[in-house]
Amino acid sequence: MADTPTPIVLLPESEVARIVADLAARIAPVTDDETVAAVLLTGGLWFAADLTRALSRLGRNVRFDALWLASYGDEKESRGRIDVYAPFQRPVAGKTVLILDDVFDTGLSLAEAVRIAKEGGAARVLTCVFARKPWPLPRAPEPDFVGWDAPNRFLVGYGLDHAGALRGLPDICALD
């Protein structure tokens, strides 16, 4: 059996918390309590839980929904197509939707989520990712809010997984 590499800490949890608080301070003034924060399951859960609570500390109590998408499976590279496992729970027609995800890499997942929100009649779609990885080609749409520009390494922790493992690490680590 191949040895599993040891995760190397790139961003400790104290920095993660500082970045989430900074994102909330930027997002609170451009949203309202009717805004629907929509997490992309599964990886976005940890970030979305922290960001919505950081918004609440600033007096912004957004609504909450989820889209369950997947494109990586157990691999370290995108399959290049997005499988949609579950749609929004409630209608988003006429609402501002704030899509939240852990990482922006090829950009395909975020683009599919924006497409679904617009198809559902959202009045405005904002996007926020905790981490953005570099990519050689333009990606559309670029996220409206980015917490951290990550290096071009395979990331785990804070929701990011390898084959379903290591999502619960509180730090963001490289596994390569």
Q: What is the DSSP letter of 162?
A: B
Task: Judge contact between 83 and 173, C-beta under 8 A.
Answer: no
Residue choice 15, 71, 124, 144 for contact with ligand PRP (CB under 6 A): 71
| φ and ψ of 116, to 5 deg | -65, -40
156 near 166, Cβ under 8 Å?
Answer: yes
In the block, which residue shows the tokens 């990550």?
150
Nearest distance in Å: CB 32, ligand HPA: 31
Task: Select from 9, 21, 78, 171 the one that contacts ligand PRP (CB under 6 A).
Answer: 78
**Catalytic machinery residues:** 105
Residue 108 binding: pick among ligand PRP, ligand HPA, none (C-beta 5-8 Å cut-off by kind):
ligand PRP
Measured from the CB atom, the residue of 12 and 73 that comes closer to ligand HPA is 73
Q: Does 109 bind ligand PRP (CB under 6 A)?
A: yes
Pairing outcome for strands 124-132 and 96-104: parallel
Contact residues toward ligand PRP (CB under 6 A) are 40, 42-44, 70-72, 78, 101-109, 161
